[in-house]
Amino acid sequence: MTGAAADTVRLTLDEVHALCADTLTGAGLGAAHAQAIARSITRAQVDECHSHSLYRLIGYVGSVRSGKAERHALPTLTRVTPAVLRVDAHRTFAPLAIETGVPALIEAAKTYGIAALAIRDCYHFSALWADIEPAAEAGLAAWCFTIGQSCVAPAGGTQPLLGTNPIAFGWPGPEGRPFLFDFATSAAARGEIELKRRAGEPIPPGWAVGPDGAPTTDPAQALAGALLPFGGHKGSALSMMVELIAGPLIGDLTSRQSMAVENGDGGPPLGGELFIAIDPAVFGAESLASRLADADELFALARQQPGVRLPSERRYAARERNREGVTLRAKLVAELRALSAPA
């Protein structure tokens, strides 16, 4: 299991999964949740989506130990209408709630052409692209939205109000591999600014304001002040939209309300997540192939321009490369293994 270089370790995907699941059950989390989180983290690790991969275990374990997240409650699925589903997570982590709801979302979208799924009262810590990938792989156009903790000022303002409020969208193609994007509606994620601070580097202009409300390139000032939305008033409007539809629309918290109940254990914020899915076949099963071909042509025309990359390409390349296993820093693996030791 130890790699050629002493400072790296090579793990198979089964070993990554086991490391996650064992660490979480060792910390006291129920097995069904531990398995779902392990699947979520393993997928992020394989895709080299480092913001949501193995190091996330530290936060998950933090929220198990602090008592913030329920350990054993199981999510419950309710069919609110034929086309609207709700999963109550009962203050557990999101992955099991998402696995509970998404198959029903897919089925409802295939039956009614469009469907929504609201995940309620969960601790969300996973990558949104992964949340909707199963729906896109099942042939659907799909979105999901979730809030964060308020650290972003609306455009024109200087005080934290909004979360980093990510948006994800997936489409079933090209070439059987969904076009998927997933981005924060803030100019940068808090993690990116934290990395700059540790590296002693300035942040680009336009990312943040300091506590005095003035634009800053000092990451410490930015973290003490407020991040800014991407794309000015347009990104700010999208961030407000996410607050509304992943919060009050579905009966869950805004980023500010989530922040107010946060205990600072390093784990995920409490909140909800909204999914929407549409079946392209509803607009004509007989024309579906030619319509998907029109979409494929759009992707091909974009990609043939030098400098253009589809949002999911880098992840798919990583997935291909890491089929047999991943190489990890030995120090991280040791740190993670230590997490499962009794507190």
Binding positions for its own copies, rule: CB under 8 A = 80-84, 86, 111-116, 118, 141, 153-159, 161, 169, 171, 179, 181, 183, 185, 230-235, 237, 240-241, 243-245, 247-251, 254, 256-257, 276, 278, 280, 282-284, 287, 291-292, 294-295, 297-298, 301-302, 305-309, 311
Nearer to its own copies, 104 or 114 (CB): 114
What does each C-alpha distance from 294 to 173, 177, 291, 297 come to in angstroms?
11, 16, 5, 5
Given the residues 15, 137, 192, 262, the one annotated as active site: 192
Distance CA 186, CA 152 (A): 7
From 50, 51, 107, 297, the catalytic residue:
51
Closest CB to its own copies among residues 10, 90: 90
- Shortest CB 213 distance to its own copies, Å: 9
User: Shortest approach of its own copies to residue 97 CB, angstroms?
Assistant: 16
For the bound state, the minimum distance from the C-beta of residue 306 to its own copies, rounded and expressed in Å, comes to: 7
182 and 211 in contact (C-beta within 8 Å)?
no
Tokens of 285: 């099963």
Cα distance between residue 94 and residue 117, in whole Å: 13
- Helix H segments across 113-247? 128-137, 190-199, 219-224, 232-246
Minimum distance from CB of 287 to its own copies (Å)?
A: 6
Identify which of residues 12 and 111 has a Cβ nearer to its own copies in the complex. 111
Does 192 participate in catalysis according to the annotation?
Answer: yes
Q: For residues 65 and 256, which CB has a smaller minimum distance to its own copies in the complex?
A: 256
Distance CA(96)–CA(88), nearest Å, equals 11
Q: Which residues, at least 6 apart from 159, have a Cβ–Cβ distance to it below 8 Å?
A: 153, 213, 226
Decide: helix, strand or coil at residue 125: coil
Active site residues: 51-52, 192
